[in-house]
Chains A and B, each alone.
Chain A
Amino acid sequence: MVTVVAAALLAAPAMAAPRAQLGLTTDRIEVGQAIVAQVVVVGTPARRPPTIPVNDGVTIAFSAKSERIDLRPGRATSIYSYQYAVRANAEGTYTLGPVQIETTDGKRLETEAVTLRVTPSTDPSSDAARFVVSGGFEESEAWEGQVVHYVYDARVRGRVVDVRWRFPVFEGLREPQQGGRGDEQYQIMDPDGEITVSHGVLPLVATATGRKEHPASLAVAELRTGRPGLFGMVRTTSERMATDPSSLVVRPLPVAPDNFTGLVGDFVFESTLETARAAVGQSVTWTLRVAGDGTLEGFSWSAPEVDGATVYGGETQHIGRVEDGEYLGMAIAENVLVPTQSGQLQVPPLELVTFSPSRGAYQTHEISVPPLMVTGSADGQSVAVESFATEVEEIVEGDGIDFRDIYRWGLATTPHLGPVLPLMAGAAALPGAAVFGVLGAQWVAARRRQRATVEVAPTASAILASLPAERGEARWAALDAALRIALADRVDQRVETMDREAALALVPDALAADLRELFGVLDRARFAANEPEGDVAPRVRDAVAALEAS
């Protein structure tokens, strides 16, 4: 544990140096399931996606590469991630890695290996396998003031949007002032459906001694239902599942020594001076870094008096977070040391007393401070103090991060086209619509003409050629139709709408008189039962011929 903390602490100043790490979303899956592995390279990209060595029983396939920039005060770093799909084919414990990486600048990096445990697959149809929750303290016993870890885990099959947790009031425990819970949510691809895992650690400081029983926590899973609505909005339903209750025994601290700092946890300390050489009167930042698995809230450090230098107190920065499932507390205390005489300045080692839960006893840390060579003149290294904002600006603009400049000319306002778009498009489409309208009207008219042509009676000659032989209504009607059609054709009118008298006025008088008489004979035959003497058909044929000839 302390090793991890020390590595995190000491790795921080070397953040810009190339480093690589292999990680898995989880270290335990079932046969047939798949998870994501990630190789992270800091600083320089790999020449090609690295290969993750593994034994038979697990297959690994490269899936994607991504890049992001990590900007922090004092440095800016590119971080390259290579993602892989890891599928378990057989039960067993497998070692993935170490991964050899060749970066584009020719450097060779190596990650640590990670272990993956593959267990037999469970029955996915059982309710127990569909929504599984667990929660409890990592420690069964703790010391007063120690940070304990409440670990919670939910595994849900189905289309999960989110899993939320509701915790009980933990009597005799409280959250540290710095650093809240560390949550992670990831998916395991299973042949019987995706499994969403919500896992987290809630750090709590033990404030009361004795055995305490703590109620269950509640996991609320939001699952997608049906298809997304308009604009891709998701419809969800909630399911709840409670963990088992948990318990914790908190022991009181032994009687403390006078110089006890109040820190409970396993800590490492590091004291550094900003420079190894300085001039008399030059300000040198003296930093004490503390990191450990306990909370550092309220911790402050005032540097002791030092012979040959004046020390000015500074500020202490506190940081707390959950990292790799463990609480990590850090404090950075800065003092300013101003040498007052030349020669080697050796600051005596610092002594700080903490309580170590792993040892169950108080521990005295002796922290050495590197010597400082003080010269009489100002030939030391430059230690110009600059504001945070200036540092950021330098990083952004001067150290390779390309912050794009502002626009200096152009329109400051722009018209909104949204409201006028329908009008614009409508106006533009109108001529086309008009053409379609005209074409449509023409088509309709053509269809009507075609229908009329089909429905109209045959020509006068055709009617006369097929006259009913029997004297009677049918014969008189056919003769009348033949006469009308011939007259309509003669005056170039539609037979259905032709005014007979008006049409007769347009033909020669003699012919008109003959036609008028024939119409009269046929009308009387048809409507007054006054049949003509003899056959009228020859006279009608003559009249039709005369009309066609005139």
Chain B
Amino acid sequence: MIALLVTVLASAGALGDGAESFDAGDLEAAIGAWESAGDPKSGKVLYDLGNAWYRKGDHPRAVAHYRAAQRLRPRDGNVHHNLALARSELDGVPEPAAASVPWTELVTVGELGVLGAAACALGSLGLVVAYRRREVHGPVSLAVPTVVWVAGIGMAVTATLGARGQVAHPIGVVVDREVGSRELPRADAEVGVVWSPGTELLVVKSRQRWVLAEDGRGRRGWVSDTAMLVVWP
């Protein structure tokens, strides 16, 4: 408990240090403070980093951080709002790629996993109690705890698969300069779609230093893994 409290206080300090720099207009210091907050970063820190990059005028990086924040805070109106603002600053970008696991736009994998584990625990408790009552009082229905228990397992399995899907297929954002996608993972391959800074891409698969990416219109191409920024929570 004490360790948890210390962690919370230390983390809150990192958020506050960055906020002070941000308010003072020192965006570099704010970004430095939040970046050094440790990993894995919380949704609030990622959102704050998005705001700092937005203020610096680097809208592609702002979008990348807002997308990462969205993974952890899918129902946070502030994240959605500022992400929309950052996107409206971008020209010539296609529709943003959707999350690889669609339901994570409503609930995080952590939330669903904890909910599933809680349902499992509740179902288990109900089953144990019903079993004891059955031994004492004769036949007792196990239907309700069984349904809760099975639903919990279903949610936990879905959350686990969702977490794996997010890791295997993250969202990357093109930053700094235009990127020409290639039909094969080779520098001399033919150039296909050209993606502007701020284009949000879904990583389909990786091969050495190349990434097969897909934009929101379903267009695919290989790009160097340094061509886009993937912000991991």
Given known A-B contacts A71-B89, A404-B81, A411-B42, A425 and B131 have beta carbons under 8 A apart: no
Check B152–A428 contact: CB distance below 8 A. Answer: yes
B127 sits at the interface (CB 8 A): yes
B222 sits at the interface (CB 8 A): no
Which of A22-30, A143-151, A257-265, A433-441 is the interface stretch? Answer: A433-441
Check B88–A412 contact: CB distance below 8 A. Answer: no
User: In the assembly, what is the distance between CA of A431 and CA of B125, in Å?
Assistant: 7
Given known A-B contacts A402-B81, A408-B16, A432-B123, A231 and B128 have beta carbons under 8 A apart: no
Check A389–B117 contact: CB distance below 8 A. Answer: no
Check A416–B40 contact: CB distance below 8 A. Answer: yes
Check A417–B113 contact: CB distance below 8 A. Answer: yes
- What B residues does A527 contact at CB under 8 A? none
B197 sits at the interface (CB 8 A): no
- What B residues does A389 contact at CB under 8 A? 57
- What B residues does A435 contact at CB under 8 A? 124, 127-128, 130-131
Candidates B110, B113, B128; contact of A425 at CB < 8 Å: B113
User: In the assembly, what is the distance between CA of A416 and CA of B42, in Å?
Assistant: 10
A406 sits at the interface (CB 8 A): yes
- What A residues does B48 contact at CB under 8 A? 406-407
Check A403–B131 contact: CB distance below 8 A. Answer: no
- What A residues does B123 contact at CB under 8 A? 429, 432
A392 sits at the interface (CB 8 A): yes
A413 sits at the interface (CB 8 A): yes
B63 sits at the interface (CB 8 A): no
User: In the assembly, what is the distance between CA of A283 and CA of B78, in Å?
Assistant: 41
Interface centre among A162, A392, A421 (most CB of B within 10 A): A421
- What B residues does A410 contact at CB under 8 A? 11-12, 15, 42, 44
Candidates B19, B84, B164; contact of A408 at CB < 8 Å: B19
Q: Which residue of A lies closest to B50 (CB)?
A: A406
Check B114–A424 contact: CB distance below 8 A. Answer: yes
Candidates B85, B204, B233; contact of A71 at CB < 8 Å: B85
- What B residues does A409 contact at CB under 8 A? 12, 15-16
Check A70–B88 contact: CB distance below 8 A. Answer: yes
Candidates B22, B42, B54, B125; contact of A413 at CB < 8 Å: B42
Minimal beta-carbon separation of A458 from chain B (angstroms): 30
B185 sits at the interface (CB 8 A): no
Given known A-B contacts A233-B204, A435-B128, A439-B131, A424 and B192 have beta carbons under 8 A apart: no
Candidates B114, B128, B167; contact of A431 at CB < 8 Å: B128
Minimal beta-carbon separation of A316 from chain B (angstroms): 20
Check A411–B8 contact: CB distance below 8 A. Answer: yes
For window 369-427 of chain A, which residues contact chain B by CB distance below 8 Å?
389, 392-393, 396, 401-419, 421-422, 424-425, 427
Check B218–A404 contact: CB distance below 8 A. Answer: no
- What A residues does B37 contact at CB under 8 A? 412-413
For window 186-233 of chain B, which residues contact chain A by CB distance below 8 Å?
192-193, 204, 214, 217-220, 233
Interface centre among A231, A414, A436 (most CB of B within 10 A): A414
Check A432–B127 contact: CB distance below 8 A. Answer: yes
For window 9-41 of chain B, which residues contact chain A by CB distance below 8 Å?
10-12, 14-16, 18-19, 22, 34, 37-41
Check A403–B88 contact: CB distance below 8 A. Answer: no
User: In the assembly, what is the distance between CA of A70 and CA of B85, in Å?
Assistant: 9
Given known A-B contacts A164-B193, A424-B117, A425-B117, A413 and B78 have beta carbons under 8 A apart: no
We find that the number of chain A residues with CB closer than 8 angstroms to chain B is 51
User: In the assembly, what is the distance between CA of A225 and CA of B218, in Å?
Assistant: 13
Q: Please count the residue pairs between chain A and chain B whose beta carbons lie under 8 angstroms apart in the complex.
A: 184
Check A425–B156 contact: CB distance below 8 A. Answer: yes
Interface centre among A392, A409, A425, A436 (most CB of B within 10 A): A425
- What A residues does B84 contact at CB under 8 A? 68-69
- What A residues does B159 contact at CB under 8 A? 418, 421
Check A413–B39 contact: CB distance below 8 A. Answer: yes
B172 sits at the interface (CB 8 A): no
Check B12–A231 contact: CB distance below 8 A. Answer: no
For window 420-466 of chain A, which residues contact chain B by CB distance below 8 Å?
421-422, 424-425, 427-433, 435-436, 438-439
Given known A-B contacts A69-B84, A162-B217, A389-B57, A422 and B38 have beta carbons under 8 A apart: no
A8 sits at the interface (CB 8 A): no
Candidates B12, B89, B100, B214; contact of A411 at CB < 8 Å: B12
- What A residues does B204 contact at CB under 8 A? 233
User: In the assembly, what is the distance between CA of A267 and CA of B214, in Å?
Assistant: 41
A529 sits at the interface (CB 8 A): no
Minimal beta-carbon separation of A219 from chain B (angstroms): 13
Chain A, residues 207-246, CB within 8 Å of chain B (1/0): the string is 0000000000000001000000001111010000000000
Minimal beta-carbon separation of B217 from chain A (angstroms): 6
A361 sits at the interface (CB 8 A): no
User: In the assembly, what is the distance between CA of A402 and CA of B80, in Å?
Assistant: 12
B179 sits at the interface (CB 8 A): no
Q: Which residue of B lies closest to A234 (CB)?
A: B218
Check A418–B109 contact: CB distance below 8 A. Answer: yes
Q: Which residue of A lies closest to B41 (CB)?
A: A413
User: In the assembly, what is the distance between CA of A422 and CA of B11, in Å?
Assistant: 27
User: In the assembly, what is the distance between CA of A222 and CA of B181, in Å?
Assistant: 15
A546 sits at the interface (CB 8 A): no
A161 sits at the interface (CB 8 A): yes
User: In the assembly, what is the distance between CA of A170 and CA of B32, in Å?
Assistant: 50
Candidates A232, A407, A411, A438; contact of B131 at CB < 8 Å: A438
Given known A-B contacts A412-B37, A413-B41, A392 and B57 have beta carbons under 8 A apart: yes
Check B109–A415 contact: CB distance below 8 A. Answer: no
Q: Which residue of B lies closest to A418 (CB)?
A: B163
Minimal beta-carbon separation of B96 from chain A (angstroms): 13
**Other than the known A401-B85, A404-B81, what 10 A-B pairs have Cβ atoms closer than 8 Å?**
A69-B88, A71-B85, A234-B218, A389-B57, A411-B8, A412-B41, A413-B40, A421-B109, A432-B124, A439-B131
**Footprint of B on A, CB under 8 Å?**
68-71, 161-162, 164, 222, 231-234, 236, 389, 392-393, 396, 401-419, 421-422, 424-425, 427-433, 435-436, 438-439
Which 9 pairs of residues, A with B, have the shortest CB-CB distance? A418-B163, A425-B156, A432-B124, A428-B120, A412-B37, A431-B124, A412-B11, A428-B121, A404-B78
Cross-chain pairs A/B with CB under 8 angstroms, 7 sampled: A403-B85, A406-B51, A407-B48, A410-B15, A414-B72, A418-B110, A425-B153
